[in-house]
């Protein structure tokens, strides 16, 4: 089986968020896919089946080291680029069939970027006491005013604060983050703030409950933050965000609010590794 490692949300290789993409030419069980994802030990590994050129569509399953996800942003974008190369796909649009439904993906050949239209998020309010727990888990010495539980495929407890510098210097208690996430039945925590230029957001994502202490650049987390902005009454102006600098990455994400009310997530990608998965005698 051919595999690719795709670096997502960076115009330069090896400083974005990598995803492993496996083109399945044999049937793998759920347990086998999970075992491979655990061994690969990236934040996500995807498994592609049923590419249909006439329908411009393929199926995908997404696994973290800790379990399967219905949807995730950077794996979706990275997988689309790998499918484009592997199958020599020439169209500008392709659809991904995943547990969250059909995801429309758009290629921009002019600048090498790829964009997806995110599934419609939903918001659930959290209590003042839960906001206080959130602040404590993150090591914040200030109250969090804007926060909610956002289902963007994965479920993120998402917060907006006033200082991007505070976010850059966060030292969360990972045990408390995991406990808090588990209590709220969430994938993890997303926190963001607009920078001094008023156009760029700084974001960090913590998900120890699924085996990812800090996600270098999180697509669905950025969708969750974009939706929280919208639901908090902030102007739906397009913006970019940066993420991953604290873990030696340099992710750049573009958020676009479409006239349809949908949120589009995009960025640049690089295929950094390709090869063969040698598992002829692999069976669990």
Domain coordinates of the chain in residue numbers? 2-118+268-276, 122-261
Say if 2-118+268-276 and 122-261 have the same CATH topology. Answer: yes
Which pLDDT belongs to residue 282?
Answer: 66
pLDDT tens for each residue of 190-201: 999 999 999 999
pLDDT tens for each residue of 121-168: 999 999 999 999 999 999 999 899 999 999 999 999 999 999 999 999
Which pLDDT belongs to residue 279?
Answer: 78
Q: What angle do CA 61, 247, 200 make, to 5 degrees?
A: 85
Of residues 277 and 79, more confidently modeled = 79
Q: What is the mean pLDDT of residues 55-73?
A: 94
Q: What is the mean pLDDT of residues 76-82?
A: 98
Q: Which pTM was predicted?
A: 0.93
pLDDT tens for each residue of 97-109: 999 999 999 999 9
Which of 44, 130, 214, 264 is flagged as catalytic? 44
Question: Span 122-261: which CATH code?
Answer: 3.10.310.10
Determine whether 44 is an active site residue. Answer: yes
Please tell me the CATH superfamily of domain 2-118+268-276, with its number.
Diaminopimelate Epimerase; Chain A, domain 1 (3.10.310.10)
Token pair for 224: 């969750």
Q: What is the mean pLDDT of residues 253-260?
A: 97
């Amino acid at each position: 089986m051919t595999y690719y490692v795709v670096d997502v949300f960076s115009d330069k290789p090896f400083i974005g968020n990598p995803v492993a993409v496996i083109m399945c030419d044999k049937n793998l069980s759920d347990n086998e896919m999970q075992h491979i994802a655990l061994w690969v030990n990236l934040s996500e590994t995807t498994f592609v089946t049923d590419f249909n050129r006439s329908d411009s569509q393929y199926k995908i399953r997404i696994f973290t080291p800790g379990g399967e996800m219905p949807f995730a942003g950077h794996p979706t974008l990275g997988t689309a680029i790998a499918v484009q190369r592997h199958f020599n796909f020439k169209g500008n649009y392709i659809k991904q069939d995943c547990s969250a439904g059909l995801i429309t993906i758009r290629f921009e050949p002019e600048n090498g970027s790829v964009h997806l239209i995110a599934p419609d998020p939903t918001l659930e309010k959290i209590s003042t006491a839960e906001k206080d727990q959130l602040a404590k888990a993150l090591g914040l010495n200030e109250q969090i005013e804007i926060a909610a539980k956002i289902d963007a495929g994965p479920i993120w407890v998402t917060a907006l604060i006033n200082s991007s510098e505070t976010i850059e210097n966060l030292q969360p208690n990972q045990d408390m983050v995991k406990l808090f996430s588990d209590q709220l039945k969430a994938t993890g925590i997303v926190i963001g703030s607009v920078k001094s230029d008023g156009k760029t957001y700084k974001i960090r994502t913590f998900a120890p409950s699924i085996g990812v202490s800090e996600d270098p650049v999180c697509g669905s987390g950025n969708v969750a933050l974009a939706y929280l902005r919208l639901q908090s009454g902030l102007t739906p102006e397009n913006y970019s965000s940066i993420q991953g600098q604290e873990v030696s990455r340099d992710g750049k994400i573009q958020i676009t609010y479409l006239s349809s009310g949908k949120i589009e997530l995009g960025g640049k990608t690089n295929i950094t590794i390709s090869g063969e998965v040698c598992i002829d005698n692999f069976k669990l």
